[in-house]
Amino acid sequence: MAFTEVLKSIVDYGATPVLLAVIIGLVIWFVKKINQLGANIPDEQRRWNERQEQRLDKQDERIDKMLDEIKDIKVNTVHVHGHIEEEDNRKCNLLVNTQLNCLLEKSKANRVSCFMYHNGGYTVTGRSFQKMSMLYEAVDGKTSSVMGAYQNIPRTMFPILMQKLSEQGYYDIDDIESIKEDAKTSYQAFKYRGAKSVYVGAIKDSQHNMLGFVLVEYVADKCEDKEALKELIKKKINRISAAFEVGSDAVRAKREEIKND
């Protein structure tokens, strides 16, 4: 491998895997040189050298595989935050925030927020930790923001809420005192941030997969027309869902383009 190629490999894959590959290559070259001069080496020594060469060849194969994996990781991640993806995210964020602010104003609620589902790691058995985060929030002048306190929340903390959204796509809580006994965790979370009534609508994609949900909270005021609110939530959720799907399709298309280059 030429010096310029070594430098390029270090830039592309990092110094550690390249250094390992070079060291193993040198050892293999040294062993092969010994074997070439081994006409007078005893059979037992020659067999030992052959075994060592085979072992080093296998190590060399493993290093090649590791370098390929590093290259794949780089290809799949280097453009995740590129300008195309950033522009898609900016447009998506603008649309979602616009819809939430509109929902806040028309519903006369005090806080409107959007939670999105995501993976938070895996157990030793490979099962995904199902988490969610509040990614968007709109509040009026009488209500404080709580978004910072609701990041990487396990979905298992709110089993009743998750069940209701899965079964019927919405969860209406006209008075949070009504869930004090049956949904204690949800009650405590809403009570802590001052909510008196809460209306939740599930966000689903075109394949009916759950992406997250929208929360409309009344802290200082009351809902004046519940049925009108539910229709408004449904309308806004459809637009938010479409925004997320368009953005994810653009990202996937870009990644495929990079892989094919």
**CATH second-level architecture of 83-260?**
2-Layer Sandwich (3.30)
For residues 104, 109, 114, 115, the Cα torsion angle rounded to the nearest 10 degrees is 180
pTM: 0.64
Place of tokens 């999105």: 116
Answer whether 202's CB lies under 8 Å from 213's CB.
Answer: yes
**Tens digits of pLDDT across the chain (261 residues):** 555 565 555 545 556 665 666 676 676 666 666 656 554 556 666 677 777 777 777 777 776 666 666 655 555 544 455 677 788 888 889 999 999 999 999 999 999 999 999 988 878 888 888 999 999 999 999 999 999 999 999 999 999 999 999 999 999 999 999 999 999 999 999 999 999 999 999 999 888 899 999 999 999 999 999 999 999 999 999 999 888 876 555 445 544 544 444
Decide: 147 and 113 in contact? Cβ < 8 Å: yes
Map residue 123 onto helix, strand or coil.
coil
Burial category of 70 from C-beta neighbours within 10 Å (exposed 0-12, middle 13-18, buried 19 and up): middle
Could you tell me the residue ranges of all domains in the chain? 3-77, 83-260
Residues in the chain: 261
